[in-house]
């Protein structure tokens, strides 16, 4: 049971429904959406919002609108009918929280930050009910995290919030580095759809997406180094040093090589050796200056005449990638 059909509650419902749990959402308003309905129409179309809420109906969610916690429904009553309750009612007074039997902090409902559980084990809380900050994205994120915790709780597993994937942020870019990013983006001005409510057509969406600088990482989510760093709880800031300049070399065949992501594993070197590439790839230099390159100062493309796709596939960190995904 979710009490509060705002951004945190709706996101939690979507997550729980996708995990296969039955989900009922109650809200004191006559329409679901909460503070999302207070957003300017130009920023969030009501048509879009209603369509998103309709998806929850299609996934099997039930709504009890016009039902306020503490007046029309009680927390004790909900606990008798549901296995878990998530409170996402927005800002509330200390009196309200204490009347529900919930321990309060100065900002809102007191929770275990790692599990989103209140002092009542089967009651969870998230969003502005916990901390009165009007931040839409944060509320939705907390709604998802709380739902993941409830999912574990309902399976009688140890409850904990999802682990954050390891993130190595470059920070501020130097002018020359920004120019490097721009080289791989499709030129052209920002596109604005003719009908804001309808959004982009398929062609417009593809053209606008092609303007992306791809400054995240083409291998994000599929990087072995990121995976192991998350598994072993690596702290990227433990040993601080000057960041290497960002380099990106776009080869004629569509292969992109980013030396800063290369961990010198030698997989690509071995693959070119096994394929008997005319030039192949090799280690150049000594000590801390070792790098992967094609012999005789040739471009990376010259060393990947036969196994470019195989090298891209097996590169564990995305140092070798195709400009356009295949």
Pick the residue with more confidence: 85 or 35?
Answer: 85
Residue 92 counted as domain residue: yes
Tens digits of per-residue pLDDT, 67-84? 999 899 999 999 999 999
Mean pLDDT of 185-209: 78
Report whether 65 contacts 40 (CB < 8 A). Answer: no
- Domain end, chosen from 112, 130, 154, is at 154
- Mean pLDDT over the full length of the chain: 89
What's the CA angle centered on 90, arms 70 and 152, to 5 degrees? 90
Average pLDDT over residues 231-243: 80
Query: Does a structural domain hold residue 171?
Result: no
DSSP state of 242: P
Mean pLDDT across the stretch 44-72? Answer: 92
**Could you report the per-residue pLDDT of 283-325, keeping only the tens digit for each?**
999 888 899 999 999 988 899 999 999 999 999 999 998 877 6
Confidence band, pLDDT 50/70/90 cuts, at residue 257: very high
H helix count then E strand count, the chain: 11, 10
Query: What is the arithmetic mean of pLDDT over 188-199?
Result: 74
Smallest Cα–Cα separation from 132: which of 154, 156, 112, 104?
A: 104
Q: Which domain holds residue 227?
A: 215-322
pTM of the model as a whole:
0.66
Looking at the domain assignment, is residue 36 inside a domain? Answer: yes
CATH of the domain at 114: 3.50.50.60
| Residue 164 scores a pLDDT above 80 | no
* Residue 282 backbone phi and psi in degrees, to 5: -155, 170
In the chain, alpha helices (H): 7-18, 46-58, 75-81, 94-99, 136-154, 175-183, 202-209, 224-231, 267-274, 300-303, 308-314
Q: Total structural domains in the chain?
A: 2
CB 88 within 8 A of CB 75: no
The string of pLDDT tens digits covering residues 85-125 is 999 998 888 898 999 999 999 889 999 999 999 999 899 99
> Which percentage of the chain shows pLDDT scores above 90?
53
């Amino acid at each position: 049971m979710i009490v509060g059909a705002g951004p945190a509650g709706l996101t939690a419902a979507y997550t729980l429904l996708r995990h296969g749990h039955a989900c009922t959402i109650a809200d004191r308003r006559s329409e679901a959406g909460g503070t999302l309905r207070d957003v300017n129409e130009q920023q969030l179309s009501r048509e879009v919002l209603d369509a998103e809420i309709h998806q929850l109906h299609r996934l099997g969610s039930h709504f009890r609108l016009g039902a306020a916690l503490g007046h029309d429904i009680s927390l004790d009553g909900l606990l008798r009918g549901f296995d878990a309750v998530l409170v996402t009612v927005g800002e509330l007074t200390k009196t309200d929280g204490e009347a529900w039997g919930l321990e309060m902090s100065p900002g809102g409902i007191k929770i275990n930050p790692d599990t989103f559980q209140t002092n009542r084990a089967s009651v969870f809380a998230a969003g502005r009910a916990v901390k009165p900050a009007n931040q839409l994205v944060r509320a939705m994120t907390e709604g998802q995290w709380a739902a993941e915790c409830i999912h574990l709780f309902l399976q009688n597993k140890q409850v904990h919030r999802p682990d954050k994937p390891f993130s190595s942020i470059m920070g501020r870019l130097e002018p020359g580095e920004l120019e490097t990013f721009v080289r791989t983006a499709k030129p052209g001005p920002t596109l604005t759809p003719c009908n804001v409510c309808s959004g982009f057509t398929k062609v417009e969406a593809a053209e606008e997406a092609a303007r992306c600088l791809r400054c995240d990482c083409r291998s994000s989510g599929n990087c072995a180094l990121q995976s192991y760093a998350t598994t072993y709880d690596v702290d990227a800031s433990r040993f601080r040093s000057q960041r290497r300049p960002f380099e990106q070399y776009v080869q004629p065949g569509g292969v992109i090589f980013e030396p800063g992501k290369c961990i010198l594993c030698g997989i690509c070197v071995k693959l070119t050796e096994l394929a008997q590439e005319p030039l192949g790839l090799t280690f150049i230099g000594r000590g801390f200056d070792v790098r992967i390159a094609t012999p005789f100062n040739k471009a990376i493309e010259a060393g990947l005449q036969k196994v470019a796709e195989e090298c891209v596939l097996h590169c564990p960190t995305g140092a070798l990638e195709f400009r356009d995904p295949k």
